[in-house]
Structure 1
Amino acid sequence: MYRMRGWVFALLVATTVLLAGQAGADTRRYAAFVADANSGEILHSRLADARRYPASLTKMMTLYLLFEAIERGELELDDTLTASRIAASQQPSNLSLSEGDTLTVETAIRALIIKSANDVAVVVAEELAGTERAFAVEMTARARELGLSDTTFRNASGLPNSRQVTTARDMARLTLAVRRDFPQYAPYFAERRFTHNGRTYRSHNNLVGRVDGVDGMKTGYIRASGFNIATTANRGERSLVAVVMGGPTAAYRDSHAEQLIEAAFRSLNDREALIMAAQTLTPRLNPIREQDLLATHIASLDLAQPVAQGDGESMPPLRIEMTDDLGPPPSRPDIPVAEAAAALGEWSIQVGAYADMAAAQARLESVRSLSDRLGEAALSTPRFETNGRVLFRARFTGVDAENARRICAQLAQVDEPCFAVAPGG
C-alpha cells in the first residue's frame, strides 16, 4: 500500500495558477507570500525573497522583544513608561506624546498594534535598551535567531531608513513567531480600537472583522515601501499566514490580501476533496496508472494558464516546499531536459504525473533533496497521452533495482509517493 496524500498534493501543483496581484502593483515594491501556518507549506510566493522596506511591520519585532521582557519579569502590564524628548519628537503616526508623558505597558502594546504609534515604539526601545539604536541592534540579533536571515532593523518604528530592509518571507516568519511564542497576547491583535487620554484610535488592519477568520497582525506604510500587511487567518483547523507588501493604496493592499487568503483556503479545501475522492477509488489500480488517471482528471478542470499578474479568482500555486520554518528552497543546478529513454536494463523511479513539463521538473527538483541516493540519477519527464490529454511523468532514471527500491522505501518514510519502475515500464 502506498501513500496517496503526498502525490495528490503534488498533482495539484500542475494545475494551479500564479496569483500575484492586480495590474496596479508596483513590482519594485510589491511582494506577496502565503503559507499554511500549521505545516509550513508555501501556498503562494511572488518576489518573496526580494528586499523590501518593512515600514510599521517593524513593530511586530518591537512587540516581540516587549513580550519577552514581560515574560522575563522585567515589566508588567500595569508598569508605567515615560516619554523622552526623542520619543516625543517622532513623526506620525503617533499618540502626540510630550516629553514626560506616561503610559502603561498595556497601553503601549495597544498603541503599537492599533495606532502604530512611532513615539510609543521609541518609548519601548529606550525602556528596554537605553537607546533606540541599541534596541535596533537587539532587534536584528533576535531576528537572526528567529530565522529572519534577510532582515536588518535600524529603528523600532519602521520610519524611513534605507538600511532597514526585510522580505515578505521573513515577515511571515516573524508573524508566526509572535503568534507561536506569545499566544496569550493574541487578543490585542484582534482589537479594532482603543482609547487613550479621552481619544479613541481605530485599527489600520481593516481585514479584522471583514474577512472570515482573520485575527491580526500588523499593517505598515512609508512612501518607499507602499502599503504593507502581515496577517493570520484561521478557519476550523486550517490556519494561514499572508503577507502583502508594496500595495499602491491601503484599499488595494487589503483587497489583494483578501483575495490571496480566500484563494488559499479554497485551494486547501479542494486539495482535501481530491484526497478524499482518491482514497475511495476501488478496485485499487496499478500505482502508476492511478497517478496518470488522477493527473488527467485534474487537467480536465481547464484552469487558466499562469500569467504575470494572475487572477484573484484563481487558486494560488501549491508549491512543492515542505518546511517547518518557511525557509527558502535550496539552490539547485538547472534541471536537464529529458532526452532519450533510459538504457536497457536501467530502472526508474516515478514520483508523479503532471499536466505540464515544468511541474514535473519542479517535482523532481524537490524530491531529489530528500535522498542522497538520488544525487547521480538523471531527471526525465517522458510525455504520454491518455484520454485525450497530454501528461508528463516525473522520473529519476539510471538506477539499479536495489537502489530504486531503497530510495522508494526512504521516501515512503516521509510520506512521499515513489514507485520503482522496471526497465520498459
Structure 2
Amino acid sequence: MREITRNSAGGAQRLHRTAVWALVSLLTLAMLLPPLRPAQAASDFRSAIVVDMNNGEVLFARSADTKRYPASLTKIMTLYVLFGYLRDGRITLDSELTITPHAASQPPTKLGLKPGSTIRTEDAIKSLVTKSANDMAAAVAENLAGTESNFARIMTQQARAIGMKNTVFKNASGLPNNAQVTTARDMAILGERIMRDYPEYYHYFSLTSFSYKGRSYRNHNHLLGNYSGTDGIKTGFIRASGFNLTASCRRDGKHLLTVVLGGSTSGGRDATVRYLFDKHWAKASVGSTREPFVASPGMPLRRPPVFAVASAGGRSASPAPQPVSYQPQPQRVAVRNPLAEVQQQPQVQARPQPQPQLVGRSENGAYHVQVGSYTTPQDADRRLTTIQSQAGNLLSGHQPVTTSFQNGSTRWYRARFANFSQSEAEKTCSSLKRMSVDCIAMRAE
C-alpha cells in the first residue's frame, strides 16, 4: 500500500514538472516572436477610406476607388431618395406603403409582411436602418417609382448628381446583382451628403433598435452604443461583398467618417473601423470650417441635387474614372422639382409631339404599352414626353395617355401609349426594352 502511494506521488511530481517546462517553453517562444502590431490585428478589409468631415481631408485611403459590391449600403441611397420625396411633400412619414407580391418575395433579412398589407413610411425607414429589411426596400421603390428598376435608375442618377462616379444601382436593397457596384470613396460621398442634405432625417441612422408589432429588431451597426461618439450609419453583407460598414463618429469637436468594404467577418470589420478611428483621431481637425450640417434658424434646408442627364440612346453615361481628390460637394444646379422624372433624356425636336392627356379610360384600342407609374400626373406626362423624344418613330401614331387608379391612400398615374393590337404592343415593348426602357404590354381598362 505504501509502495502504491509513493509511486502515485512520484507520478504526480513528474507530471507537475512536465507542465511547468511546457509553460516555460511557451513563454520563451512568445518572447522570441515579433509582437503583433495593432494594424495587423485590425486590417480586415479590401477597401477603406477615412475622411475628416470638418475640412473634407482624406486621412487614409486604400483601394478606395476599386469597384466592389455595396450590399446593404445600397439602402443608404434608397433612403436618400426617399428623404427627397419627403422633403418635396410627395409623401409623409404617415403615408402607408403597400406591400406588393414582389416586395413580399424578397429573401431575408425582411419584416415578412404579406402582399396587400401596408406599413407607415416612418416604420419602413426604421426597418431599413436597423433590420436592413429587403422587403421594405423593394416596397419603398415600388410605391415611389412604380417598379424597383425605375427606382434603381433614380438612385443611379442621384449618385451621379452628387459625385458618385463609380456607382451603379440595380435594386433598392443591395441583394446580389453583378452590375451593382460602388467604391469606398463613393460611399463616403454618400455618407456625407445624406448628413448635409437631409439633417432633419439623419437621426434615424442612430437608432439602436426598432420595435414593430410586438417584436424588437437590433441595429446591425454594433458600434452604436459601443464606440464613443458613433452616430450611424449602415452595415452591409452579401457573400460576394464581404462585410461592409459606413460609420460616423463625432466627439470633442471632431468628426470622422470611415468606410470599410470587404471584411471577412462582422467582428473583424468592426474592429477595423474602431482601429481606423483611433489611429486617425489625433490628426482630425477640431471645429468645422465648412457649412453646418443642421440648418440654423432662418436658414433654408437645401434642396436635393438635380439628376444627371443620361446620354443619347437611353443609357446612362459610363462612369468616369474617379479623381484622386475627395469631392463631397460638387456644384449644385437649382431645379423646380428635382425628383420629378425617373429618367431624363436629351430633347430631340424632330417635330411637334402631341401632348399627353389625362383620361380615366382609354378609347384608343384594345392594348396599351405602359412605360411607368407615378404619384403625380405631371411625372407621368414628363415620362411620356421623354419616351416620345427617345423613340418617336417606334411610337408614331400611338396616342400618349395617362390613366389613374387609387392604391390605398395614394393615387397613381400610369404613363401609356395607346391604340395597339396585342401583338403590336408586345413587339413595341420588346423594342423599347432593347433601348433600356422598362415597359409592359397590357389590355386597356
Tell me the TM-score range normalised by the shorter chain.
0.5 to 0.7
TM-score normalised according to structure 1 size: 0.58
Q: 2:198 aligns with which of 177, 182, 191?
A: 182
**Residue 119 of structure 1: how far off its partner (Å):** 0.2
Match of residue 186 from structure 2: 170
The CA distance in 2 between the partners of 1:21 and 1:185, in whole Å, is 37
Distance 1:236 1:200 in 2: 32
Counterpart of 1:102 in structure 2 is 118
- Mapped pair 1:223 → 2:226: no
**Which amino acid in the other structure matches residue 248 of structure 1?**
S
**Alignment CA distance shift 1:130-1:169 (3 Å):** same
Q: Which has the higher contact order (CA 8 A, sep 6+)?
A: 1
The question of 1:44 aligning with 2:77 is answered no
Hey, what does 1:152 align to over in structure 2?
168
Which residue identity is paired with 2:219?
S
The alpha carbon displacement at 1:212 in A equals: 1.1
Shift of 1:21: 6.3
Aligned to 2:144: 128
Asked if the contact 1:21–1:256 (Cα under 8 Å) also holds between the matched residues in 2, the reply is no
1:19, CA displacement in angstroms?
9.1
Q: Cα 1:144–1:324, aligned 2, differ >3 Å: closer, same or farther?
A: closer
**Match runs of 1:6-405 below 5 Å:** 22=41, 25=44, 30-268=46-284, 325=328
Identity in percent: 47
Superposed CA deviations along residues 108-163 of structure 1, whole A, max 9, x for unmatched, are 11011011000000000001110000110110011000100000000000000000
Match of 1:267, SS? coil
Shift of residue 326 of structure 1? 8.1
How does the TM-score come out when normalised to structure 2? 0.56
Change (3 A) 1:51 1:71: same
Aligned-partner SS, 2:190 = helix
Show CA shifts across 1:32-67 (max 9, x none).
000101211000101000010000000000000000
CA distance in 1, matches of 2:325, 2:67: 23
Distance 1:253 1:25, change over 3 A: closer
- Structure 1 residue 235: Cα displacement: 1.2
Measured in 2, the distance between the counterparts of 1:25 and 1:235 equals: 25
Q: Deviations over 1:54-91 (max 9, x none)?
A: 00000000000000000000011111111000000001
Unaligned runs of 5+ in 2: 1-36, 288-323, 331-445
Cα distance, 1:185 vs. partner?
Answer: 1.4
Q: What is the alpha-carbon root mean square deviation over aligned residues?
A: 2.2
Q: CA deviation at 1:169?
A: 0.4
Residues 142 and 322 from structure 1, CA distance in 2 versus in 1: closer, same or farther, beyond 3 angstroms?
A: closer
Q: Which runs of 4+ in 1 moved over 4 A?
A: 18-24, 321-324
Report the alpha carbon displacement of residue 100 of structure 1 after superposing the two structures with TM.
1.2
Distance (Å, rounded) in 2 between the aligned partners of 1:134 and 1:260: 37
* Bigger Cα Rg: 2
Pair 1:24–1:39, CA change in 2 (3 A)? closer
Code of the residue aligned with 1:173 in structure 2: it is I
CA shift for structure 1 position 268: 2.9
- Structure 1: segments with no counterpart, 5+ residues: 1-17, 273-320, 328-425
2:42 and 2:275 in contact (8 A); partners too: no
Q: Residue in 1 aligned with 2:352?
A: none
Tell me which amino acid in the other structure corresponds to 1:133: S
Output one character per residue of 1:356-382: Cα deviation in whole Å (capped at 9) or x when no partner: xxxxxxxxxxxxxxxxxxxxxxxxxxx
What letter matches 1:225 in structure 2?
S
Residues in 2 aligned to 1:131 and 1:201: alpha-carbon distance in whole angstroms: 27
Shift of 1:263: 1.2
Q: Offset at 1:236? A: 2.4
Q: Is the 8 A contact 2:74 2:172 kept in 1?
A: yes
Q: Deviations over 1:172-214 (max 9, x none)?
A: 0001011111111122111111111111100000011111111
How far did 1:264 drift? 1.4
SS in 1 for 2:200: helix
Counterpart secondary structure, 1:188 = helix
